[in-house]
Structure 1
Amino acid sequence: MVADSIPARRPALPESRARRRRPVRTLLGAVLALVLAGAAPLAASAVPAAGSTDRSPVSASAVPTNSVSVAVAPVSLKPLHAGEDLYLTVTIKNGTADPIAPGTIDLYLAERALTSRSALNSWLRPEKTGKPGDLMKSEATKAPVQPDSTEIITVTVPADSVGLTTGNAWGARGIAVTLTDNGDVLAQGRGTFVWYSDEELTPVNVAVVMPIAAPEQTTGLIPEKALETFTSPTGVLTRQLEGVIDRPVAIAIDPQIIVSIRVLGSSAPPSATAWLDRLTQAKNEIFPLSYADADLSLQTQAGAATLLAPTSFDQAIDPTLFTTPTATGTPTPTATATAPPAASSTPVPSGTPTAPAGPVGGAAPTTEQLLAWNYTATDIGWPHEGSVAAADLPIFAAGGLGTTILSGSNASQSDSDITPNTAVALGAGAGTGLVMDDPLSKALRTAAASTSDDAWREAMAEVGSQLAVVSAEKPGTTRTLLATFDRGWPPSAARLSQTLDALAALSWHAPATLAAARATTTTDVTFESRTEPAERTELAKRLLVREADVAAFSSALTTPLPVTAEHRLILLSLLSNSWASQPGSWRDAVGTNLVDSSALLRSVSVSTKGPINVLGSKVDIPVTLDNTLGQAVTVRVQVVPSNGRLLVGSDVESTIEAQSARTVLVPVTSAVGNGTVTLRVTLFTPAGTMIDQPALIPINVRADWEGLGSLIFAAAVVLFFGFGVWRNILRRRRERDEPDTSTDPNATAAPPASSNTAGTEPNA
């Protein structure tokens, strides 16, 4: 695909020249080295002689699987002038299992100048392979390219073969390369360079922002060992800071790094305290990210009514580490940030170092002291790129973030051929947006993460071309753009300083402060609402619901702040932007957190299982409560029977000491009948929040056992005494029926009367 046609900017090459293949020009290596030394001081390494090759093996992962690719880039980032030869590097990568036989490299110049951003992007990333342009030179490769390897060939295109003269206007030009074998095209690649004819340039102001954040973790504070690794000479934080310190780059710092170093007191790794000292001395603009770089949009779209922030670090402080003042190289603590600096072409220092914000006179630091820093601005928010919804902006503004950094996908413009300024008004109550230039940012990020010289030159050539197009769009009109480096710094990224140096050397570029970028607004851009992925939002909702559960549960604790503060820090770390590129790992981390927090919510429980026999009309049922926490809890015990056989009195409140169990007695009254009853025992916090799920205790009720026993006992008593009375009556009756002989001891009993003497008188 070709760009817009502007014939005056580039006359077509003569047909005879375009069609014939030119012989390869071979220059002496020493002569070419001298030429390149003067023409290309910014090249990453010495350039071999024309036509020479640099073979270096690469891993299979660096080459597309089962493919052959070819790329082209200028050796020098300086613009090409009339009469100068064009020095190019052609990189051939063989990702197949077979060697590539020697073939032919054809170099082309785009037919038309690249006069718009859309034309430039279409040239570099065409939807389909089109005409590559006018042939400038053909050159045969001298050796096969082995499997899983790369070969870099340096080619010199003579000035007359380039075909550009002083009559061509300055700006970005497209170049293309094809690798052919016996007429068959194996691969095609495209690149750019900048042509300059001594016109008056209008530099493009570019504000650059670099986020400095630690890799993803789930602890809320960076562990000591990790800090030591991150701040080592080759650590990720060291490489990030080294690349931007004292350069015209605004630093977006994660406060978690500062706090994690300060909270360790005298036990902080020396490399970490030295790193913090260097940050203190930096002359860069510095503004804070959210703690742990928690995604602002993810918070609001998951249901947070306000932006989340740490509540306390007291639970993480060991007072013995602050017995004497420790020089942690931090600025004087202040609750308010300094005002943003006035717009200028150079960065504004973030403040001179003063006394540390840590312990004073041996005292442990407060939460405010741990978070304090002399920022140049504190009202800038940087949510996840391309995921900001319209409803998020008022919440950002209400949380003190009146300026939001947005990606280009969150904005649209009326004229796509003219690049607007970065600042845009977002509407009443929504603040201001700083829309980053996505193509420029992507090219800078690619350059900084490049692992080879040729890949770096290719990316930086695009950076120069992007800025050249913007500069030439509206001559005499100054524009201010925003470019950002990305989060999640790869371990292999080692070209940050080299990239920034090359950017600063471009004559059509001028460094700008973040304050200056915020001051230049445009009306040609409108906000485009975007949302986070549905799965990511759903998991975040579960995290926020769980935090609400933990906060409600904590009202039962004697000292709730250590529990809620630690959980908040872990939540913020799980919402970090660094997890966005690792959805699988983040899902696992969220699941682990939900399991751990469930154990916290179940740390106070009912251990009584039953069954329990109730044999009386009024009894006290023992219920044992367990507390596995490291502090005492106060709970209210509510018992509800499943039916009317038992009546339960009012709730019972009890305090359970740390790591212990306690039995409470719940009074119950038997009502009607015998049978089984299930008691539902529920624990509540003093504020009325239910703790865990209710426990069910089976009860066997024998409500009439006491009355029946009394009746049996009474009957036994009655029978016992009745039997005694009955025996006494019988005895007395016998005594009355027997004659009394106790008055005449000599008397004898009369003989029994005979029937034949009845009625006769005895003898006198």
Structure 2
Amino acid sequence: MSPSRLGHAMPARWRAVLCVLTLVALGVGGAAGGPFKPGPAAAAAPGVVPTAVVTPAPTPDAGTVLVQVTGVEPQVLQPAQDLLVTATIRNDSAKVLESPRATLRISRFRLASTTQLETWAGSAVAADAGKAVGSVDIPGPLAPGMSVQTTLTVPSTAFGLLNTPDAWGPRGLAVELTDGGRRVGLDRTFLLWLPDETAPAPTPVSVLVPVVGPASTPVATTTPVPAPTPSPTATASADSSATDPELDALTGATGRLRAVIDATGHHAEVSWAVDPSLVEAAAAGGSSSTSWLADLTQRSARRDVLALPWGDPDLAAIAHADRPDLLTLARDASAGSAATVFGGTPQTQLMWAADDVPDATTAALTVRSGARALVVGPDALAPEREAAPTRSGTVAVRTDAGELTALVPDSALTAALTDADAVDPGATPATAAQRILAETAVAAHDRASAGQHLLAALPRDWDPEVPIVQAQLDALATAPWVELTSVTGLIGRAGDDSARAPLPTSARSAQELSPAHVVALGDARASVAAFATVVPVPDTLLAGLDRAILSPLSVAWRDAPSRRGALVDTVLADANTRRTGLSVLVSPKFTAVASATQIRLTVHNALPQDATVQVDLRPRKACLTVPDGPTLATVAAESDAIVSIDVQANANCDVDVDVYLLASDGTVVASPAKFSARLAPTIENVGTLAVGALLALGLVVGIIRTVRRGQTANRGARVAALAAAAPHASAEEKTP
């Protein structure tokens, strides 16, 4: 039986079924999936406005006419709705377009991955643009340099898309310009198709924007430092005046910081990570800075605002120098910020790595600091199995210090918001909105990432195109499959269980501050803090110190290492100056002839406060000792005090003695002094022996003289009387 006869013999209902199956097989019925492959242009489907056949091969005029889609309404098309696509056409060629015609084309295959979206958007002008669904003649001729706006209105039925639950999602959409049947321009975008009653469960999406300013040098320094070249990743210091003009420019009408607030401020669901040092600098800045700060504060109400550590320090540099005390210092400074932009109490639970892929040492530092989450780059912690990709914004990371939540941005969403023109050259607010809707639809449709919380984290140097970003955020806020939510909710959310590539054990960037410099800054801060304990009001000596110490640690200085080095030297010199004002005066030579003696010296206090110090003598030989240890002394402000110290000379010797002034914890608070002592304690001993010997000799001589001289006259008379009386007594005894 011939095919024609077979067709006549089949019942009408079977012919209809066969027709539908054929359309589905060909993709014209709105296939639920399958890859998009650029190919030759096809003829228009039946039932739509006919268009001229397009020559598939490139022509000399191809791409020389600018076509830009400036409007897609509605952004999400549903059955029984008409699609209105507005485009601007400008003749950039050198030829007159005699018969210009605009045609709307669609690729009916659902685009199921970011790769397919990129393939469609990046296809050449002459590549396949799908099937024509509507066209309109443009009044011509169109001379070189002329532009015109046109609108194509197409009913949803003309697209021939299925109404099945799995048919929703993005399709390729294009506006083509032909002249005499030859394609001379094309702009690609996306159609979002959502049949009735097939809306998927919303996918949580968070947008995190860093609000950081320019690099700066602190005012309270003793040596001027060259002002750094404006750095896109910079952070301001609250004590900075040298950068006020730059900050005013950044917060002015055309400045980057103004654009950040204007682009994101109208959506309270967008989270801000704010550097408190920028807030303090803006408060002390010019009119544009203070106006910007007022706007920032107003738009912070009912918004998720997180406080970065003060000055946005380089976590890697601090970690590699093993100085967690500096990060604690920065977090404490943020926690103590009184800026109303942070509400009642600043949230300091978030850290932001300077490197896209931080090492395990940096992650461990974050845990030790008490923070709960670390923002990393899109390339960090990649899934180990490429065949099972995941787009989860949270990943649990185990470190030597404990477990940490890593916030991993989605690369596609982040790229689309960062620079829509880099993703889709010539992007308009309309096409940028359709692209980000397509990206989120792909993620929501993907079973591997369905329900996962997506994150878009913008770079520190983000300079947004305000109309484009506003259109993108507006689209996300109204998309049925998206739920814009704060980053704070993401921090407490568990990530997926997929295996991830571990963070490198240790990886140091050549741009970060050297460990030696970081250690020097930390030691300088500790020394000044210890020095300040000698006065009753330490804050007068510590004012501005923490800001000065933290300033060179900012991520901003990675772009200006030589100036950063000069700043470190200046900050260290300033810290050393803060530790001056106390000195000790002593005679260069001292002689002691006694074993126990006192050494008197003078302590000079040039500080405006009383100072209490310990005077510590440290002999370099054991022949001199200090029995009572350091001697406590209080010296009045701007005066001198004489201090007497008991010492013990143990032998004859010449000894050098160092004199130290110490704080209560033993920190040296003045330059050591030195004197030489000549000890002769045996002179005292010899004298004592000589005197004793003379006394003993006198006693012996006296005894001998007494013996040799015999009895005295009185004693002799008594002896004679006794002798005379003795015979008389004997005679009486003999008488009867």
Identify the TM-score tier after normalising by the shorter chain: 0.5 to 0.7
Contact 1:298/1:537 (CA < 8 Å) preserved in 2? yes
Determine which of 294, 309, 314 is the counterpart of 2:313.
294
1:423 paired with 2:419, answer no
Deviation at 1:441, TM superposition (A): 1.7
Determine which of 259, 263, 275 is the counterpart of 1:254.
275
Question: Structure 1 pair 453/410, CA: closer, same or farther in 2 (3 Å)?
Answer: closer
Task: Quote the residue 1:536 is aligned against.
Answer: 513
Contact 2:624/2:649 (CA < 8 Å) preserved in 1? yes
Deviation at 1:21, TM superposition (A): 3.9
| Rounded Cα–Cα distance in structure 1 between residues aligned with 2:114 and 2:607 | 61
| Rounded Cα–Cα distance in structure 2 between residues aligned with 1:215 and 1:46 | 39
1:49 paired with 2:122, answer no
Q: Secondary structure at the match of 1:683?
A: strand
Question: Structure 1 pair 525/455, CA: closer, same or farther in 2 (3 Å)?
Answer: farther
Contact 1:448/1:456 (CA < 8 Å) preserved in 2? no
Query: Deviations 1:472-527 (Å, cap 9, x if unpaired)?
Result: 544994443100122245xxx35245323234337687351125545474222536
Give the counterpart letter for 2:273 in structure 1: A
Task: Quote the residue 2:352 is aligned against.
Answer: 382
Give the counterpart letter for 1:441 in structure 2: T
Contact 2:420/2:432 (CA < 8 Å) preserved in 1? yes
1:579 paired with 2:598, answer no
Task: Quote the residue 1:436 is aligned against.
Answer: 409
Which moves more between the two structures, 243-252 or 376-385? Answer: 376-385
Question: Structure 1 pair 615/527, CA: closer, same or farther in 2 (3 Å)?
Answer: same
Task: Quote the residue 2:221 is aligned against.
Answer: none
Contact 1:449/1:494 (CA < 8 Å) preserved in 2? no
Task: Quote the residue 2:484 is aligned against.
Answer: 512
Deviation at 1:642, TM superposition (A): 3.7
Contact 1:645/1:701 (CA < 8 Å) preserved in 2? no
Task: Quote the residue 1:445 is aligned against.
Answer: 418
| Rounded Cα–Cα distance in structure 2 between residues aligned with 1:446 and 1:216 | 23
Contact 1:422/1:520 (CA < 8 Å) preserved in 2? no
Determine which of 244, 250, 262 is the counterpart of 1:226.
244
TM-score by length of 2: 0.58
Deviation at 1:426, TM superposition (A): 3.7
| Rounded Cα–Cα distance in structure 2 between residues aligned with 1:395 and 1:560 | 29
Question: Structure 1 pair 424/605, CA: closer, same or farther in 2 (3 Å)?
Answer: same
Paired-residue identity, %: 21
TM-score by length of 1: 0.56
Question: Structure 1 pair 622/217, CA: closer, same or farther in 2 (3 Å)?
Answer: farther
1:592 paired with 2:562, answer no
Contact 2:274/2:308 (CA < 8 Å) preserved in 1? yes
| Rounded Cα–Cα distance in structure 1 between residues aligned with 2:70 and 2:341 | 51
Task: Quote the residue 1:526 is aligned against.
Answer: 500
Contact 2:626/2:648 (CA < 8 Å) preserved in 1? yes
Give the counterpart letter for 1:294 in structure 2: P
Question: Structure 1 pair 536/367, CA: closer, same or farther in 2 (3 Å)?
Answer: closer
Task: Quote the residue 1:216 is aligned against.
Answer: 215
Deviation at 1:84, TM superposition (A): 0.9
Which moves more between the two structures, 433-442 or 513-522? Answer: 513-522
What pairs with 1:75-474 in structure 2 (closer than 5 Å)? 84=104, 116-117=113-114, 135=127, 171=170, 193-194=189-190, 205-219=204-218, 221-223=238-240, 226=244, 229=248, 233=253, 237-247=257-267, 248-258=269-279, 271=291, 274-275=294-295, 277-280=297-300, 282-296=301-315, 298-304=317-323, 307-309=327-329, 373-374=343-344, 379-386=349-356, 388-390=358-360, 396=366, 399-416=369-386, 418-426=389-397, 429-447=402-420, 466-467=439-440, 469-471=442-444, 473-474=446-447
Q: Secondary structure at the match of 2:526?
A: helix
Give the counterpart letter for 2:482 in structure 1: A
Question: Structure 1 pair 223/167, CA: closer, same or farther in 2 (3 Å)?
Answer: same
Deviation at 1:397, TM superposition (A): 5.1
| Rounded Cα–Cα distance in structure 1 between residues aligned with 2:191 and 2:342 | 49
Question: Structure 1 pair 691/484, CA: closer, same or farther in 2 (3 Å)?
Answer: same
Query: Deviations 1:588-631 (Å, cap 9, x if unpaired)?
Result: 323332232233345534455x6436486587655444445443
Task: Quote the residue 1:12 is aligned against.
Answer: 39
Task: Quote the residue 1:73 is aligned against.
Answer: none
Question: Structure 1 pair 597/26, CA: closer, same or farther in 2 (3 Å)?
Answer: closer
Which moves more between the two structures, 677-686 or 526-535? Answer: 526-535
Deviation at 1:682, TM superposition (A): 2.0
Give the counterpart letter for 1:290 in structure 2: P
Deviation at 1:208, TM superposition (A): 0.7
| Rounded Cα–Cα distance in structure 2 between residues aligned with 1:680 and 1:115 | 79
Give the counterpart letter for 2:104 in structure 1: E
Determine which of 614, 632, 644 is the counterpart of 1:653.
632
| Rounded Cα–Cα distance in structure 1 between residues aligned with 2:288 and 2:121 | 48
Task: Quote the residue 2:15 is aligned against.
Answer: none
| Rounded Cα–Cα distance in structure 1 between residues aligned with 2:146 and 2:419 | 19
| Rounded Cα–Cα distance in structure 2 between residues aligned with 1:647 and 1:572 | 43
| Rounded Cα–Cα distance in structure 2 between residues aligned with 1:559 and 1:239 | 44
Contact 2:41/2:128 (CA < 8 Å) preserved in 1? no
Q: Secondary structure at the match of 1:408?
A: coil
Give the counterpart letter for 2:308 in structure 1: L
Number of residue equivalences: 553
Question: Structure 1 pair 447/544, CA: closer, same or farther in 2 (3 Å)?
Answer: farther
Q: Secondary structure at the match of 1:292?
A: coil
Deviation at 1:576, TM superposition (A): 3.0
Contact 1:50/1:155 (CA < 8 Å) preserved in 2? no
Contact 1:246/1:284 (CA < 8 Å) preserved in 2? no
Which moves more between the two structures, 192-201 or 300-309? Answer: 192-201
Task: Quote the residue 1:555 is aligned against.
Answer: 533
| Rounded Cα–Cα distance in structure 2 between residues aligned with 1:612 and 1:561 | 39
Q: Secondary structure at the match of 1:412?
A: coil
Question: Structure 1 pair 633/18, CA: closer, same or farther in 2 (3 Å)?
Answer: farther
Question: Structure 1 pair 559/542, CA: closer, same or farther in 2 (3 Å)?
Answer: same
Contact 2:277/2:311 (CA < 8 Å) preserved in 1? yes
| Rounded Cα–Cα distance in structure 1 between residues aligned with 2:612 and 2:146 | 73
Which moves more between the two structures, 210-219 or 455-464? Answer: 455-464
Give the counterpart letter for 1:194 in structure 2: F
| Rounded Cα–Cα distance in structure 2 between residues aligned with 1:118 and 1:201 | 24
Contact 1:215/1:488 (CA < 8 Å) preserved in 2? no
Q: Secondary structure at the match of 1:308?
A: helix
Query: Deviations 1:264-298 (Å, cap 9, x if unpaired)?
Result: 79x99863773465245x34322222233334555
| Rounded Cα–Cα distance in structure 2 between residues aligned with 1:52 and 1:666 | 96
Contact 2:376/2:409 (CA < 8 Å) preserved in 1? yes
| Rounded Cα–Cα distance in structure 1 between residues aligned with 2:341 and 2:444 | 41
Determine which of 447, 454, 460 is the counterpart of 1:487.
460
Contact 2:610/2:634 (CA < 8 Å) preserved in 1? yes
Deviation at 1:14, TM superposition (A): 7.0
| Rounded Cα–Cα distance in structure 2 between residues aligned with 1:414 and 1:441 | 21
Give the counterpart letter for 1:524 in structure 2: S
* CA RMSD of superposed structures (Å): 5.8
Give the counterpart letter for 2:632 in structure 1: E
| Rounded Cα–Cα distance in structure 1 between residues aligned with 2:638 and 2:421 | 53
Give the counterpart letter for 2:375 in structure 1: I
| Rounded Cα–Cα distance in structure 1 between residues aligned with 2:636 and 2:610 | 4
Give the counterpart letter for 2:208 in structure 1: V
Determine which of 603, 611, 617 is the counterpart of 1:639.
617
1:612 paired with 2:589, answer yes
Query: Deviations 1:670-689 (Å, cap 9, x if unpaired)?
Result: 77668x64221222212223
Query: Deviations 1:213-268 (Å, cap 9, x if unpaired)?
Result: 33233545344783983655556544432332231311222334455678x79x99
